[in-house]
Amino acid sequence: MEKHKPNIRKQDGATHYFCPKCGNHILSTKNMSQSGEKMNCCPECGQGIDWIGMIIRGGLCAMWPIEINGNLDGPGGLKNYGLFQKTILEVYSYFSNYLMEIYPDGPALYVDNVACNSGYTPITTLVFRKYIIIKLHIDPADPAEKIAFQFAHELTHYVYYIKYGLIKEKADDNEETVCTAASLIYLHDVMPENFTLYNDYVKSLEHAGYRNGAALAEQTGYDFSKLIEKI
Ligand SMILES: [Zn+2]
Ligand SMILES: [Zn+2]
- What is the chain's length? 231
State yes or no: pLDDT of 57 exceeds 80: no
Cβ proximity of 89 and 64 under 8 Å: no
pLDDT at res. 62: 59
Q: Which residues surround ligand 1, an ion (CB under 5 A)?
A: 19, 21-22, 24, 42, 44-45, 47
Return d(Cα 131, Cα 166) in angstroms, integer.
9
Mean pLDDT, the chain, integer = 88
Q: Is the pLDDT of residue 7 over 60?
A: yes
Number of the ligand closest to the Cα of 47: 1
Q: How far apart are CA 204 and CA 212, in angstroms?
A: 10
Q: What is the pLDDT of residue 100?
A: 79
| CA of 158, nearest ligand number | 2
Gap from CA of 12 to ligand 1 centroid (Å) = 24
59 pLDDT exceeds 70?
no
Sequence-distant (6+) residues with CB within 8 A of 223 are 185
Task: Give the model's pLDDT for residue 32.
Answer: 64
Cis amide prior to 6 (ω within 30 degrees): no
- The Å distance, Cα 33 to ligand 2 centre, comes to 40
Domain range annotation of the chain: 7-62, 66-230
Residue 178, C-beta contacts closer than 8 angstroms, at least 6 positions apart: 156, 213, 216, 227, 230, 231
What is the pLDDT averaged over residues 168-197? Answer: 95
Q: What is the amino acid identity at position 138? A: I
Got the DSSP string for the chain? Answer: ---BPPEEEEETTEEEEE-TTT--EEEEEETTEEES---SB-TTT--BB--TT-EEETTEEEB--EEE-GGGSSTTS-TTHHHHHHHHHHHHHHHHHHHTTTS-B---EEEEE-SS--SS-SEEEEETTTEEEEEE---TT--HHHHHHHHHHHHHHHHHHHHH-TTPPPP-HHHHHHHHHHHHHHHHHH-GGGHHHHHHHHHT-S-HHHHHHHHHHHHTTS-HHHHGGG-
Strands 109-113 vs 66-68: parallel, antiparallel or unpaired: parallel
Mean pLDDT of all residues in 212-218: 98
Percent of the chain surpassing pLDDT 70: 92
CA 209 – ligand 2 centroid, Å: 9
Ligand 2 center to 176 CA (angstroms): 5
d(CA 175, ligand 2 centre) in Å:
7
For residue 98, the CA-to-ligand 1 centroid distance in Å is: 29
Backbone angles phi, psi at 57, to 5 degrees: -155, 135
Least confident of 56-70, 84-98, 169-183: 56-70
